């Protein structure tokens, strides 16, 4: 298998045989003609169950992940958003099942579980998965799924995926990792023992803050993947073709974007760690981060996300974010532009996020300009 950098540079496949175009075509057709014998000679029938542009993205993403065994054949299903992909994973479970999720899981997952899935008979327990004792205590006989997010949002706690997978397997539960923050380049959850990985394509994979999409990668022949395809084709939360096409375009530069983003994030984390107005920096690339050793074992670099806590009140922290001029004050992550966000004010009151915490998504600007911006904003 070629290096991921090579796979990415060619994401979307080969020259179009019909025209010689070196860039994949965008297929908008919703329906496909039958042959004289009633078959579908192109392999497509109706766009909810399959579309050639979406299929190219699914193939590209499946090839980027890797299982524990080189021979493992993986498959991908692309969804309308990261949350549609997450919901599809939950919909593979039966009513009455129980899931364990991180106590600081992505806010969207927490509200999906509490406001939607609970009504369908899915029970969830939040636990600190960086503590295997807490995971053990959260497991029930009917636990079918353990959801992992590492680094977590917004505190960048590191969960040991291999250790969680072993505990979950013994308990008869599957492990799904939300790989949005790491992409297949920084962390390979299936190789660490997970059964599936979920991505919000909206973030690093598409990478330009202009596409909403999601994906799940799992073993091609697995019962889990068959159920995901069922939810995708029958429920219809599919990624639309133009989104898939833009995501393929974004993927071709993922490797170079992420390399810069990881390097700049480390530089900013070191700058912030020395700043007198900063009381804490959360970035697993710092030696003093409690998850640094675990991150070094399972990640190839530490990512483009970091958060820090400002000395003072929540209002003062918010004021720091609004004084930034190179960072844009907005939610989301993974684009070319750096974003800064006062996280507690986008979550429910009473959440676990420290009120003075600011979260940064590091973009592609010059590191010196980003340092200067934070420096003037902190005053
Ligand atoms: C953004 C995000 C999601 C949800 O993805 P959408 O594409 O916005 O639906 C899920 N998990 C994580 C970690 C995210 O950052």
Is residue 361 pLDDT above 80, yes or no?
yes
What's the CA gap between 333 and 360, in Å, rounded?
8
Strands 196-200 and 174-178: parallel
Q: Which residue has the higher pLDDT, 347 or 232?
A: 232
DSSP one-letter code for 257: H
Overall average pLDDT of the 181-191 stretch: 98
Q: Distance from the CA of 151 to the center of ligand 1, in angstroms? A: 13
For 220, the token pair is 């091609």
Residue of minimum CA distance from atom 1 in ligand 1: 200
Residue pLDDT, tens place only, 69-110: 878 899 999 999 999 999 999 999 999 999 999 999 999 999
Mean pLDDT, residues 362-374: 98
Cα–Cα distance, 236 to 230 (Å, whole number)? 9
Q: Is pLDDT above 80 for 156?
A: yes
Question: How far is it, in rounded angstroms, from Cα 22 to Cα 19?
Answer: 9
Scan for tokens 């004021």, then name that residue: 319
Tell me which residues have their CB closer than 6 angstroms to ligand 1: 81-83, 106, 108, 149, 153, 178, 180-181, 200, 202-203, 212, 214, 333
* 211 phi and psi angles, rounded to 5 deg: -140, 135
Which of 90, 106, 215, 304 is the best mutation target for the ligand 1 pocket, counting ligand atoms within 8 Å of the beta carbon and taking the most?
Answer: 106
């Amino acid at each position: 298998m070629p290096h991921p950098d090579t796979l990415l540079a060619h994401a979307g496949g080969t020259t179009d045989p019909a025209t010689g175009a070196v860039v994949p075509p965008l297929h908008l057709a919703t329906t496909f003609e039958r042959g004289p014998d009633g078959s579908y000679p192109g392999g497509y029938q109706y766009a909810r169950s399959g579309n050639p542009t979406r299929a190219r993205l699914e193939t590209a993403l499946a090839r980027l992940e890797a299982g524990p065994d080189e021979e493992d054949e993986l498959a991908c299903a692309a969804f309308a958003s990261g949350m549609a992909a997450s919901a599809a994973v939950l919909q593979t479970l039966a009513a009455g099942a129980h899931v364990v999720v991180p106590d600081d899981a992505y806010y969207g997952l927490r509200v999906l579980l509490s406001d939607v899935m609970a009504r369908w008979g899915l029970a969830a327990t939040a636990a600190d998965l960086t503590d295997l004792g807490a995971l053990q205590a959260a497991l029930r006989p009917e636990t079918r799924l353990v959801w992992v997010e590492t680094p977590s949002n917004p505190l960048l706690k590191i969960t040991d995926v291999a250790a969680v997978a072993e505990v979950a397997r013994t308990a008869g539960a599957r492990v799904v990792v939300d790989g949005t923050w790491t992409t297949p380049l920084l962390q390979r959850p299936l190789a660490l023992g997970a059964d599936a990985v979920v991505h919000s394509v909206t973030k690093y994979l598409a990478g330009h803050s202009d596409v909403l999409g999601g994906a799940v990668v799992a073993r091609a022949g697995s019962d889990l993947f068959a159920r995901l395809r069922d939810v995708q084709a029958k429920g219809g939360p599919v990624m639309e073709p133009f989104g898939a096409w833009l995501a393929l375009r974004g993927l071709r530069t993922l490797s170079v974007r992420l390399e810069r983003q990881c390097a700049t994030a480390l530089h900013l984390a070191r700058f912030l760690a020395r700043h007198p107005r900063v009381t804490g920096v959360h970035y697993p690339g710092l030696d003093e981060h409690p998850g640094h050793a675990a991150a070094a074992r399972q990640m190839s670099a530490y990512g483009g996300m970091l958060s820090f806590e400002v000395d003072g009140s929540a209002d003062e922290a918010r004021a720091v974010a609004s004084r930034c001029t190179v960072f844009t004050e907005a939610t989301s992550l993974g684009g070319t532009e750096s974003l800064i966000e006062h996280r507690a004010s986008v979550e429910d009151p009473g959440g676990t996020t420290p009120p003075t915490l600011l979260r940064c998504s590091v973009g592609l600007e010059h590191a010196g300009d980003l340092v200067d911006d934070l420096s003037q904003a902190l005053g």
